[in-house]
Structure 1
């Protein structure tokens, strides 16, 4: 899961980053809200964890601006010995949860997991078999079965496809894809990702006539959509003598 962290205290940011990494998350640190907001306009994040003071603004003010850029983004605010009135004000400003600072690993990870469940954030699960409608993913054999056939994928194609199916109808950024499939390698060329997307589209027959479209989002990433399958011409038309019925 991609988690953004706004923390002016570099020492505490390092601690939180290590805790999140230990919990299986990718942490992207920002020392203030301005660079985060600039990055959020083009990046994909599942969650924002921020200090009560973001280095250049209070968390209450930043939350409103965040929701303009990334609507629905869950926000957790870190607070040092807050008074009840401060907690209430932060939650009323739109925070989804508040955590004591310095962060305590097990509690923070448990609260983040609970928040993600409530928010419906989707990420590929670590299971040998996954089902998405008629598509059955067998990670152990790197095979996908659908419509009476089985297709072999490369490990990276399988991870890419799982990420798309897990986030059906949700835009997935290139950064998120690279981070999930290529482990954040910076030497992966853009056309490599596009080539894999094209192969997945072909191998899994993600075409409108089969009820799916894999859409490239210019400058951002990809989105897999499930769409209604159009009926053959005339299949949904009534006979000519039954199209118009006069009622009295």
Structure 2
């Protein structure tokens, strides 16, 4: 499933994003409601998780705006030390559930799955297909389709590619990569991560002339960025 997360707190957003990914879902993070609402006009989301203060608007205002674009969109509201009045206000505004921050992993994933199940949006694992930035990810076959071609990746390459795309334009640390792709194995060498990143870059053609740039961040990790059309044209011209 594609889950949108509106969370101004970057550290908490990283925690929630890791949990969502571990639960088999794709997560797209927004620091405020405005960019989410803009994306929702062009992209389909199966669930919205939003902080009670969505960076620029309260959740009570975000929920009806979101549903005017994506009708019947399930919504979970995150609240730090919530008061009863806050929970009641969110539920009256249309929230389907409320969670206390910081979230507890198993509980959050159970509530997400229960809500998606009630909404009739549960897809079998072998039918999962997420489309992000023109790349369609098929979890059943570890396949990625883009520009009318399909590439088969290894399971680890697939998980790394999906991790990078769900964190588009955000740095992804090596620690996060190891935790997500290699399940925190301590015997994984740094060179192994670099090799997998290089393979993903080559197989998915993540080059400026094709609209994307995958760059290493010295001493930190990797970042995937979309390249503006004019920059992509310039890259083609310079060959």
Are the equivalent residues in 2 in contact too, given 1:123–1:163 (CA < 8 A)? yes
1:171-182 equivalences in 2 (<5 Å):
178-180=136-138
Alignment partner of 1:103 is 2:103: yes
Aligned to 2:76: 76
- Specify the structure having the higher radius of gyration (Cα): 1
Q: CA deviation at 1:25?
A: 1.1
1:79-98 equivalences in 2 (<5 Å):
79-98=79-98
Structure 2 unaligned regions, length at least 5: 151-239
Aligned to 1:188: 146
Counterparts of 2:3 and 2:137, CA distance in 1 = 12
Structure 1 unaligned regions, length at least 5: 127-161, 165-171, 194-248
- Cα-Cα RMSD: 2.5
1:57-76 equivalences in 2 (<5 Å):
57-76=57-76
Q: CA deviation at 1:179?
A: 2.9
Q: CA deviation at 1:192?
A: 3.3
Output the TM-score relative to the length of structure 1.
Answer: 0.55
Which aligned runs of 4 or more in structure 1 are off by greater than 4 angstroms? 172-177, 181-185
- When residues 78 and 104 of structure 1 are mapped into structure 2, their CA distance, relative to the original with a 3 A threshold, is same
Secondary structure of 2:99's counterpart equals strand
Aligned to 2:32: 32
Aligned to 2:119: 119
Q: CA deviation at 1:81?
A: 1.0
Higher helix share: 2
